[in-house]
Amino acid sequence: MKDALSFWLQAGVDGFQVRDVENLTDASLLLAEWQNITKSFSEDRLLIAGTESSDLQQILSLLGSTKDLLLTSSYLSDSISTGKHIEFLVTQYLNATDSRWCSWSLSQAGLLTSFVPAHLLRLYHLLLFTLPGTPVFSYGDEIGLEAAALPGQPVKAPIMPWDESSFPNTSEPGSNNMTVKGQNEDPGSLLSLFRRLSDQRGKERSLLHGDFHVLSSGPDLFAYVRQWDQNERFLVVLNFGDVGQPARLPATASLPTKVNLLLSTHLGREEGASLELGHLNVEPHEGLLLRFPYVA
Lowest mean pLDDT among 158-167, 173-182, 222-231: 173-182
Measured CA to CA, the distance from residue 20 to residue 69 in angstroms comes to 15
User: Would you say residue 293 has pLDDT above 80?
Assistant: yes
Query: Cβ(102)–Cβ(134) under 8 Å?
Result: yes
Residue 65: what pLDDT? 72
pLDDT band at 68 (very low <50, low <70, confident <90, very high): confident
Please say whether the beta carbons of 273 and 261 come within 8 A. Answer: yes
* Amino acid 176: pLDDT: 60
pLDDT band at 218 (very low <50, low <70, confident <90, very high): confident
Q: How far apart are CA 289 and CA 53, in angstroms?
A: 30
Task: Please give the mean pLDDT across all residues of the chain.
Answer: 91
Average pLDDT over residues 106-127: 93
Between 151 and 98, name the one with better pLDDT.
98
Which residue ranges make up each domain of the chain? 1-104, 107-203, 209-292
Task: Please give the average per-residue pLDDT across 41-57, as a whole number.
Answer: 95
What architecture is domain 1-104? 3-Layer(aba) Sandwich (3.40)
Give the mean model confidence (pLDDT) for residues 219-230.
95
What would the pLDDT profile of 271-286 be if each residue is shown by its tens digit?
999 999 999 999 999 9
pTM of the entire predicted model: 0.92
- Taking only the tens place, the pLDDT of each residue in 74-103 is 999 977 789 999 999 999 999 999 878 999
DSSP secondary-structure letter at 24?
A: S
Q: Which fold has domain 209-292?
A: Immunoglobulin-like (2.60.40)
pLDDT score of 151 more than 60: no
| pLDDT number for residue 168 | 60
- 217 CB-near residues (< 8 Å, 6+ apart): 83, 223, 237, 247, 248, 249
Average pLDDT over residues 218-229: 94
The whole-angstrom separation of Cα 123 and Cα 286 is: 6
User: CA-CA distance, 256 to 78, in Å (whole number)?
Assistant: 34
Q: Which of 79-83, 110-114, 164-168, 263-267 has the lowest mean pLDDT?
A: 164-168
121 and 153 Cβ atoms separated by less than 8 Å = no
Residue 109 has pLDDT above 90, yes or no: no
Which pLDDT value is given to residue 163?
A: 86
The C-alpha angle 141, 50, 32, rounded to 5 degrees, equals: 135
pLDDT of residue 150: 52
User: Residue 290 is which amino acid?
Assistant: L
Checking if the pLDDT of 145 tops 80, the result is yes
- Whether pLDDT at 146 is above 80: yes
